[in-house]
Amino acid sequence: MSTETPQPPESELPEQMRVRLAKRADMLAAGVEPYPVSVERTHTLREVREAHPDLAVDVATGELVGVAGRVMFLRNTGKLCFATLREGDGTELQAMLSLALVGEDELARWKASVDLGDQVFVHGEVITSRRGELSVMADAWQMASKAVRPLPNTHTELSEEMRVRQRYVDLIVRPQTREMVRRRAQVLRALRDVLHGRDYVEIETPILQLLHGGATARPFVTRANALDQELYLRIALELYLKRAVVGGVERVFEINRVFRNEGIDSTHSPEFTMIEAYQTYATYDDIADVTRAMIQAAACAVFGSTTVHHVDGSVHDLGGEWRSVTLHGVLSDTIGTDVTPDTPIADLREIAVKNDIELKDGLTAGEIVLELFEELVEHTLVAPTFVRDYPVEVRPLTRQHRDDPRLAEAWDLYVFGTELATGYSELVDPVVQRERLTAQSLKAAAGDPEAMQLDDDFIRALEYGMPPTGGMGMGVDRLLMTLTGLGIRDTILFPLVRSE
RNA sequence: GCGCCGUUAGCUCAAUUGGCAGAGCAGUUGACUCUUAAUCAACGGGUUCGGGGUUCAAGUCCCUGACGGCGCACCA
């Protein structure tokens, strides 16, 4: 060891880090920069590969290139060294260093300073080895960035915790993780493309809010020092998008993060990405078509068709029209008993008892129907299914049904047994909306932490007249899960983890 | 929040009834000009998650805390 790095007490570091730090120090002592500002890269590894798709064995092209990548394999033999370089998209290319070409000193310097995981630059001729491997035969090489921490071994699976806590390592080691990053980008782009194609305008609305609303969920609370006031992180996008609709943004959407202070598990993250879209002079039927178009476009963006491939190997077609049922209808079909908005509470409770479902006291008929649906039907809806016409009391932001005032013009979209999206014919009557939110705020005052607050400014906006509007909301992470079959923590690049 | 299971070398894991803490990969040294999970030889590497206890003796048993996984509850 020639130079000390006083920061962390070296004796407490693992042996392999001490060795690598010593190599870094030795390079500095020899006047070699382990972290140069740049290197003379002329080609990406992919470009070299694409320029020479099928060279014969043991061929020299005469083409000189400068390439760089992370060392993923290293085979230092006596007078001929091999390294497999990899760049960000996963493309790999072999570098070879021979005593004859680089000389004794440079070969020794390579062996002494290069470890698995280092970023290196290699200049030389594009050749194929005697075994036919496309390679760059080096005439010069340079460290591009010395890795002082060793990579995990690449022959065993990384632990789940390591993959989430050190996602950068997961990205280096696992192609599936790199693929998810790109798939998420493809999905976001597809969603935007569909909406832009229909003349929607993307806007950004406040994340820090004085009141929480637009959904029933526990919010995160924070504080604005300058205002000396508590603020909430938004739980939904809805109420501000509707303000924009009132103001004349007649087709509007937002894709961004919302925050819910609730359980964390394989399908729930405290922050997740929502898309909400609103279109004036549209109904919940129109917005269902938009939603289907978005999901099918997302599938095509990822898989090239509406046939999706899950990580468990299963294949599912999300193409064509989707099944549409009513809430009461699908519940009736499932349990074999007719349930309608007229079914008395006593009868509904009897169905619950028969099916071993415990119900809280004081529920309305509509709330019981919804509970029965969630317990008995939801998990059976594997193929995409719009479930329509919910009890009006469980959809406080939706207009009453044109044919039955006890129902709301709302649908939920279920795929693979879970809810993926929701859509409404929006409630635009300010008087009815005030009544509904007042009822919600009474529940909040009574201690329900998930109930909506009465947002007077939102009501005031409606009082100026909001056009008839259809709206939808969808969890983007859920969409990724639907397309790939992964858990939510695999669809979010950097999910929340507890401190180590 | 409640319950169950787990945490051992850089990584992935093993360790019988409580009896010397091990393997593969990675690392160090040496050999090798066609390797590609290279091979061969030798060597090094441990606060067994933290704290406390029982015991002649604790990775192993008990208590406690942290973190993780699964189930339940809440929810998208």
Handedness of CA A111, A114, A115, A121 (dihedral sign): negative
**What was the pLDDT predicted at A114?**
96
Scan for tokens 């008087």, then name that residue: A431
**Are residues A123 and A28 in contact, defined by beta-carbon separation less than 8 angstroms?**
no
Global pTM reads: 0.91
What does the H/E/C string look like for chain A? CCCCCCCCCHHHCCHHHHHHHHHHHHHHHCCCCCCCCCCCCCCCHHHHHHHCCCCCCCCEEEEEEEEEEEEEEEEECCCEEEEEEECCCCCEEEEEEEHHHHHHHHHHHHHHHCCCCCEEEEEEEEEECCCCCEEEEEEEEEEEECCCCCCCCCCCCCCHHHHHHCHHHHHHHCHHHHHHHHHHHHHHHHHHHHHHHCCCEECCCCCEECCCCCCCCCCCEEEECCCCEEEEECCCCHHHHHHHHHCCCCEEEEEEEEECCCCCECCECCEEEEEEEEEECCCHHHHHHHHHHHHHHHHHHHHCCCEEECCCCCEEECCCCCEEEEHHHHHHHHHCCCCCCCCCHHHHHHHHHHCCCCCCCCCCHHHHHHHHHHHHCHHHCCCCEEEEEEEHHHCCCECECCCCCCEEEEEEEEECCEEEEEEEEECCCHHHHHHHHHHHHHHHHCCCCCCCCCCHHHHHHHHCCCCCEEEEEEEHHHHHHHHHCCCHHHHCCCCCCCCC
Q: Straight-line distance from CA A45 to C1' B6, in Å? A: 42
* Residues in contact with A118: Cβ distance below 8 Å, sequence separation at least 6, in sequence order: A70, A71, A143, A144, A145, A146, A147
- Token pair of A277 as six digits: 């879209």
**Are residues A150 and A454 in contact, defined by beta-carbon separation less than 8 angstroms?**
no
Handedness of CA A73, A79, A80, A86 (dihedral sign): positive
**What was the pLDDT predicted at A234?**
93
Name the nt closest to A101 by C-alpha to C1': B33
**What was the pLDDT predicted at A256?**
95
Q: Straight-line distance from CA A16 to C1' B58, in Å? A: 30
Angle (nearest 5°) at CA A392 between A388 and A395: 80
Name the nt closest to A421 by C-alpha to C1': B76
Name the nt closest to A268 by C-alpha to C1': B76
* Residues in contact with A428: Cβ distance below 8 Å, sequence separation at least 6, in sequence order: A399, A462, A465, A466, A467, A468, A469
**Parallel, antiparallel, or unpaired for β A385-391 and A323-326?**
parallel
Q: Straight-line distance from CA A297 to C1' B55, in Å? A: 67
Q: Straight-line distance from CA A18 to C1' B62, in Å? A: 39
Specify which residues A442 forms β-bridges with: none
Burial tier of A271 (Cβ tally within 10 Å: 0-12, 13-18, 19+): middle
Name the nt closest to A150 by C-alpha to C1': B10
**Are residues A205 and A237 in contact, defined by beta-carbon separation less than 8 angstroms?**
yes
Name the nt closest to A15 by C-alpha to C1': B45
Q: Straight-line distance from CA A193 to C1' B58, in Å? A: 63
Angle (nearest 5°) at CA A73 between A2 and A136: 95
Q: Straight-line distance from CA A318 to C1' B3, in Å? A: 39
**What was the pLDDT predicted at A357?**
86
**Parallel, antiparallel, or unpaired for β A251-259 and A271-280?**
antiparallel
- The interface predicted TM-score (ipTM) is 0.90
What is d(CA A120, CA A142) in angstroms, rounded to the nearest whole number?
6
Q: Straight-line distance from CA A21 to C1' B9, in Å? A: 19
**Are residues A171 and A177 in contact, defined by beta-carbon separation less than 8 angstroms?**
yes
Residue-by-residue pLDDT tens, chain A, 500 positions: 333 333 444 557 888 999 999 999 999 999 999 999 999 999 999 999 999 998 999 999 999 999 999 999 999 998 999 999 999 999 999 999 999 999 999 999 999 999 999 999 999 999 999 999 999 999 999 999 999 999 998 888 888 889 988 999 999 999 999 999 999 999 999 999 999 999 999 999 999 999 888 888 888 888 899 999 989 999 999 999 999 999 999 999 999 999 988 878 777 888 999 999 999 999 999 999 999 999 999 999 999 999 999 988 889 999 999 999 999 999 999 999 999 999 999 999 999 988 888 888 888 999 999 999 998 999 899 999 999 999 998 898 999 999 999 999 999 999 998 899 999 999 999 999 999 999 888 887 777 777 788 899 999 999 999 999 999 999 999 999 999 988 888 899 998 887 77
Q: Straight-line distance from CA A13 to C1' B8, in Å? A: 18
Q: Straight-line distance from CA A403 to C1' B71, in Å? A: 43
Neighbours of A229 (CB within 10 A): 9
Burial tier of A380 (Cβ tally within 10 Å: 0-12, 13-18, 19+): exposed
Span between the terminal Cα atoms of chain A, in Å: 31
Nucleotides of B under 7 A from a protein CB: 1, 9-13, 24-29, 31-38, 44-45, 66-76
What is d(CA A306, CA A161) in angstroms, rounded to the nearest whole number?
33
What is d(CA A402, CA A295) in angstroms, rounded to the nearest whole number?
28
- Token pair of A435 as six digits: 């009544």
Q: Straight-line distance from CA A176 to C1' B5, in Å? A: 28
Q: Among A36, A81, A33, A487, which residue's Cα sits nearest to residue A269?
A: A487
Q: What residue is closest to B26 (Cα–C1')?
A: A153
